[in-house]
A and B are shown apart, each in its own frame.
Chain A
Amino acid sequence: MPYSTADLLEFHRRMLLIRKVEERLSQLFLEGTIPGTLHQSLGQEAVAVGVCSALRETDVITSTHRPHGHALAKGVSLPSFIAELLGKSSGCCKGRGGSMHVGDITKGMLPSIAIVGGGIPIATGVALAFKRRREDHVAVSFSGDGSVAEGIFHEAVNMGAIWDLPVLYVIENNRYAASTHYSRNTKLEQLSGLSAAYGIPGVTIDGNDVLEVYETAQTAVERARAGQGPTIIEAMTYRITGHNRRDPCNYMPEDERDQALEQEPVKRFEEVLLRDGHAEASLLAAMQTELESEIEAVIETALAAPAPDPEEAFRYVYAEPVES
């Protein structure tokens, strides 16, 4: 597939934004500025950017407890994303969600579903609504390798399949369900092999190659828009940080980690851009500096925003106020 230099730089910029935001969040968390916990997507940027670049704003995604990359790739605004992690009313969920529930339906992202597998039927139901209304939107369920051991995976994918719903099941295989390697959770060598159980296509791809992810997603999206039903995409990647910020990853073999760092998507794509002459090192450095200063400005504004009024806690439980 031919890409313009501008296209390729945009893929890079999107991945770099996620990388730089995650790095900065990590610092903010360690210094105690971000409350709660943090599940980061460092090393998995190509899956989020590759898939979401194949989508329109009106297409809808569901994400997981590790949603930062998906949110930024789908277009949730950086200020509302950062403010949400800091627990501010100006956050994309008005401070009700936090790191594990970021989302913004106006950008086509439901609040992230932090119960493993919980978002898979919901994405399928959104696809059901699209099909019933004869709209050509698609829904995408992002889930991890751990999610395929959940019963809900089977129920949801089966219904998506039997009704030919416009949905993509993207299994982001970062090798570890929390600390458990996926080979301990399945006899399958490739999780895309599950597709045989549902009679739908399934592919396993290099999830650290943003262009391979993009092209695979595009094919599946076209198929879904044409009414031909779902696809399972297993994107092989690697979580180069811990399950959460406090995880030292002692269960990851050192050579495996070293190899994964060699293969991490941002550096890999940067090398391709330089090798093929799409950009000078100085241009990429300038892009990074620009992103970093944008991120700093956003963080500064978010930190200065007032904390929510405790009275606010009672709002939005029901669709209209209920008399007590």
Chain B
Amino acid sequence: MKKLAIAPALRDGLIEEMRRDKNVFCMGEDISIPGGWGGVFTVTLGLEEEFRDQLIDTPIAEAGSIGLGIGAALAGLRPVLDMQYSDFLFLAMDQIINHAAKLRYMSGGTLSVPLLIRAPVGATGRGAQHAQNMERFFTGVPGLKVLCPATAYDAKGLLKAAIRDDNPVVMFEHKLLYGSKGIGAATGEVDASSEIPDEDFIVPIGKGIIRRPGGDVTIVATLLMMHLALAAARELASQGIEAEVIDPRTLAPFDWPLLEQSVEKTSRLIIVEEGPKTGGWGAEVAASLGERMMECLTAPIQRVASPDIPVPFAPELENAYRPNVRQIIQAAESLVALG
């Protein structure tokens, strides 16, 4: 066992998978330039010597790179695409949604697209175009899997599972959780490091986890928001409210049984999401749960999410955008007060 932050845990995961299977390779901008950064968040730092043949530095061409990744995956390789910032995925939406997600279906099941796209999300002082939470745009796309690891253990385990998966997968990583050093270091970081086993392991795609058990209210949250939900739960406990924190870990497929069991027990649900409230993945969770479990709920489902605005730059404005612990506590208090 060793304790690692997310960036080095992902690096170890890539090393192990590239050693295990020579069909695995990484593609992206600035990922293995000698004297460079090892990717903007240093995940591939120092890999260029051992894996010279398995790292491809691409031009700035997101749609093209992902398209090449799709072609390589169709031909039997297992590409891992590094997106620098998830906002750049918009440049490649046609390739991801129209091609990667649909080619298996269009081929009548004769082809598969084992492609992993890694994409950093989250408001981190970079303004409107390098800070969005893109999960919402991918969760309702048949054919895609969407991962959101909140801890280093899950990051490594889900990365390895995704590389071995035969489907196109988008993994969102939060910039404030990486624990990157040097050029990738971020201010306002939250510790997401974990004890990582020495032996090979994966985290199965589609299985959520109860981060903290509790009987009074269920809080479902991913990535950075999962850590804020835990902080809120600790404070709520001091007031005698026991919150159960559910981390779905993957948004597609979603671990509905885990969430349903929790809501059956607590009869109250709060969804915490970084990103505009309208049309977020939280809206889908609320609608689905409402459809299936209305009779179990003793209070309306609450969403704690960002306001419907672009991500602002000034720290004071950004703080007003990012959901916080206080809002989660207030949501829980208001639900419990309803009886």
Contacts and interface: CB of A to CB of B under 8 A. Distances in A.
Interface of A: 60, 91-97, 101, 103-106, 110-111, 113, 115, 118, 120-130, 132-133, 139, 151-152, 154-156, 158-159, 162, 315-320, 322-324
16 contacts: A94-B108, A97-B106, A105-B74, A110-B103, A121-B65, A125-B74, A128-B77, A129-B71, A129-B77, A155-B59, A156-B64, A158-B61, A316-B104, A316-B105, A317-B104, A323-B253
Given A125-B72, A317-B104, A320-B166, A152 B67 contact: yes
Given A125-B75, A128-B68, A105 B107 contact: yes
B69 interface: yes
A63 to B, nearest CB: 12
A105 B67 contact: no
A123 B108 contact: no
A132 B63 contact: no
Contact of A158 (B59, B107, B108, B166): B59
B206 A323 contact: yes
Contacts of B61: 155, 158-159
A162 B59 contact: yes
A126 B71 CA distance: 4
A162 B68 CA distance: 13
B99 A115 contact: yes
B25 interface: yes
Given A93-B108, A94-B109, A115-B98, A124 B74 contact: no
B50 interface: no
A282 B195 CA distance: 81
Contacts of A118: 67, 94-95, 98-99
B143 A318 contact: yes
Contacts of B94: 115, 118, 152
A189 B53 CA distance: 40
A104 B109 CA distance: 11
Given A118-B99, A151-B63, A159-B59, A125 B68 contact: yes
Contact of A317 (B25, B69, B105, B111): B105
B87 interface: no
B111 A128 contact: no
Interface string B141-168: 0110100000000000000000001110
Contact of B109 (A110, A125, A156, A315): A315
Contacts of B145: 318
Contacts, number: 147
B111 A110 contact: yes
Contacts of A129: 71-72, 75-77
B70 A132 contact: no
Contacts of A125: 67-75
Contacts of A95: 108
A164 B61 CA distance: 17
B278 interface: no
Nearest to A116: B94
A320 B167 CA distance: 9
B110 interface: yes
B160 to A, nearest CB: 17
B65 to A, nearest CB: 7
Contacts of B75: 60, 125-126, 129-130
Contacts of A92: 108
Contacts of B64: 121, 124, 152, 154-156, 158-159
Given A115-B99, A128-B71, A155-B65, 15 more contacts: A93-B106, A96-B106, A115-B94, A120-B67, A121-B63, A121-B68, A122-B71, A123-B71, A125-B71, A125-B72, A126-B71, A155-B61, A159-B64, A316-B109, A322-B206
Contacts of B298: none
B58 interface: yes
A317 B143 contact: yes
- B95, B110, B145, most chain A CB atoms within 10 A: B110
A164 to B, nearest CB: 13
Nearest to A312: B108
Contacts of B53: 132
A133 B106 CA distance: 26
Contacts of A323: 206, 253
